[in-house]
Structure 1
Amino acid sequence: MKATRDWFGESLADLAAEHEDIVVVNCDLASATKTAAFRARFPHRFFEVGIAEANAVGVAAGLAQEGLRPFVASFGHFLTGKYLEIFQSVGLNDAGVVLVGTHAGLAIGKDGPTQMGLRDVALMRTLPNVEILHPVDGVETREMMRHVVGHRRPTYLRLCRQPQREVHDPRHRFVPGAPDVLHAGRDVVVFSMGGPVGVVLDALDTLAARGITPTVVNVSSLPVDAAALGDIVDAHRRVFVIEDHYVRGGLADEIARIVLDRGHRVAFRAWGVPDYGQAGDPRDLYARYRLDRDGVVHHLTSFADADLATAPR
């Protein structure tokens, strides 16, 4: 098991050997963001700007406009905190920058909410030309990296700190925007991205013992294919979204909009982080916010037990 930030670092260095236009703009976090391997192999293509994310975004936008494919790496909380610079320099200019935000969600633990990437998806969703990618494992990370170096659109790559097990077969191929069905079930469909996906899969045996067999869908890229996602929703009576992010503005909002636009008559619930977050051991935090396996079992059991007799049809 590895964190997706580790898979990113390895993939970046390997792909840079094939793509001479790849450069890195770093914010004094090469070890944490796993860009150190790139620096060791390609020091002349590694630009250190220090603890200055706003400057890094501007430098990267300029490099992109000169035909390079720059990766700006920092904690997701810090990087998207420079939203104005991203909006002005990357978004408006349609600059081909890959914004790499690591340490997504609660897993940074004791460093607390001043460093937790909990509102980054909400911010990046507001930019109409920015692709958001959040891989669930090593296979998908490598596939996404190959995808990213193959185009020049602005991209936000969201990465986790915690180790995550492989959920894909090595032959899996990433398709941008396609909802990725990892487990077929009935009645309730669970949509998630990144770290919580594996947690939901780990809860399946316990849920099955209670007579609950959810469909599990990995939504690893936004914007998602609305038609494909709508077809999945059509086959279920209940939709549940769980994300390691603020409950407002993230994946749940994206899916709710699709459900409403299509006129689906389903019961809909979402769960995420309802406050600013806390500092503590990551395991304690995930338990506190009911984003661990026991929390998933609790949410889906209560949802399955809910009376839908009065729900609109």
Structure 2
Amino acid sequence: MTARATRDWFGEALVSAGAAHPRVAVVDCDLGSATKTGAFAEAFPDRYFQCGIAEANAIGVASGLAQEGMRPFVASFGHFLTGKFLEIFQSIGLNDTGVVLVGTHAGLAIGKDGPTQMGLRDLALMRTLPNMEILHPADGAETRQMVDYLAARERPAYLRLCRQPLAEVHDRPFRFVAGRPDIVRAGADIAVVTMGGMVRVVLDALPPLAEQGIRPSVVSLSSLPVDPDALRRVCGAHRTVFVVEDHYVTGGIADEVARALLELPHPPRFVGHGVRDYGQAAAPDELYARYRLDSRSIGEQIHALAAEIPVGALS
């Protein structure tokens, strides 16, 4: 299957969800071509609301629609949308309104537009809201199922989407189950836990490792809150847990995984890896290499962990 961005899969899935669920609406922030909501506007113009470059207003509009019985998806770049955290807290979180926040352009892949538009702290913000469900698909199959799932739900949610094209990661029949860790590859000794666009990157790092007898498990943490018991069962069977994320090292899934593992009587070795500054402006490939979030660098780090190299030598 041709590699595509999850935002592209989202645009198609949203039209299907609109046909199946008359309550589904879209609130746009003048970014329909980038967030891929334009097809929904053509199919269902009466359920498409254009708010312009005004995310705070869009959040208020979406909250009002939800309180009138609609299921609105409000879409913008993740950095811009979650930047209106006060409005999200007050209008959606505190009121428990059934709005789906759709944040595209997650992580470093926005490239030369730089840190002023780079979605690197959105998970940290959304994780602070106790009733906010967070979903970050790894491929087209997961995106379609997540959109169907969200269209039929009532609770607030944040859907995190990628800009970069990605090959499918599920080479078997797949069923998304909210809160369940997805074991994409079963291995031994080391569990690599990641989410979204990084799943494909980690998988691409595996072939050279296999030639050296290193076959880590790859676990996709595609939705939060995660079932902590299931996460402990998966990770606790490994000597080392290596969390890789296209996000700040603080506030992302490393925090979620570490909290669960601390409940084990004998926690595995734990290493978290992500972005440690505000991000830079450069071509996406250059940025992923700089932050050691490309396949080659991740493979090197997994190899070092397998060789028992001290944690400090990995960074």
Whether TM exceeds 0.5 here: the answer is yes
What letter matches 2:229 in structure 1? A
TM-score, structure 1 as length reference: 0.96
Mapping 1:7-22, distance limit 5 Å:
7-22=9-24
Deviations 1:215-266 (A, max 9, x none): 0001100011111110012211100000000011001000000011234421
Aligned residue-pair number: 308
Cα drift, residue 169 of structure 1: 4.1
Alignment partner of 2:37 out of 14, 35, 38: 35
Deviation of residue 18 (structure 1)?
Answer: 1.6
Is the Cα–Cα contact under 8 Å of residues 236 and 264 in structure 2 kept in the other structure? no
Check if 1:274 corresponds to 2:282.
no
Where do residues 198-237 of structure 1 align in structure 2 (5 Å cutoff)?
198-237=200-239
Aligned to 1:302: 304
Q: Does 1:150 align with 2:152?
A: yes
The corresponding residue for 1:311 is: none
2:81 and 2:103 in contact (8 A); partners too: yes
* Amino acid paired to 2:214: I
Partner SS state of residue 263, structure 2: helix
For residues 170 and 127 of structure 1, what CA distance do their matches in structure 2 show?
Answer: 34
- State the TM-score, normalizing by the size of structure 2: 0.96
| Segment drifting more, 284-293 vs 260-269 | 260-269
- Counterparts of 1:82-97 in structure 2, within 5 Å, are 82-97=84-99
Aligned counterpart, 1:136: 138
Structure 1 residues 84-130: Cα deviation after superposition (integer angstroms, max 9, x where no partner): 10000000110000000000000000000000000000100000000
Q: Percent of aligned positions with the same letter in both sequences?
A: 64
Q: Within 1, Cα distance between the matches of 2:170 and 2:106?
A: 21
Offset, 1:170? 6.6
User: Residues of 2 paired with 1:147 and 1:66: CA distance?
Assistant: 20
Distance of 2:233 and 2:16 partners within structure 1: 37
TM alignment of 1:58-97, pairs within 5 A: 58-97=60-99
Aligned counterparts of 2:173 and 2:154: Cα–Cα separation in 1? 25
Tell me by how many angstroms 1:149 deviates.
Answer: 1.0
Change (3 A) 1:80 1:264: farther
Please tell me the root mean square deviation across aligned C-alpha atoms, in Å: 1.1
8 A Cα contact 2:181 2:222, kept in partner: yes
Are 2:113 and 1:105 aligned?
no
Deviation (angstroms), 1:211: 2.4
Q: Go from structure 1 to structure 2 and tell me whether the alpha carbon gap of 1:202 and 1:307 turns closer, same or farther (over 3 Å shift).
A: closer
Deviation at residue 43 of structure 1 after TM alignment: 1.1
Asked if structure 2 preserves the Cα contact closer than 8 Å seen for 1:139 and 1:170, the reply is no
Runs of 4+ in structure 1 displaced over 4 angstroms? none
Q: How does 1:190-205 map onto structure 2 within 5 Å? A: 190-205=192-207
Which ranges in structure 1 are unaligned for 5 or more consecutive residues? Answer: 309-313
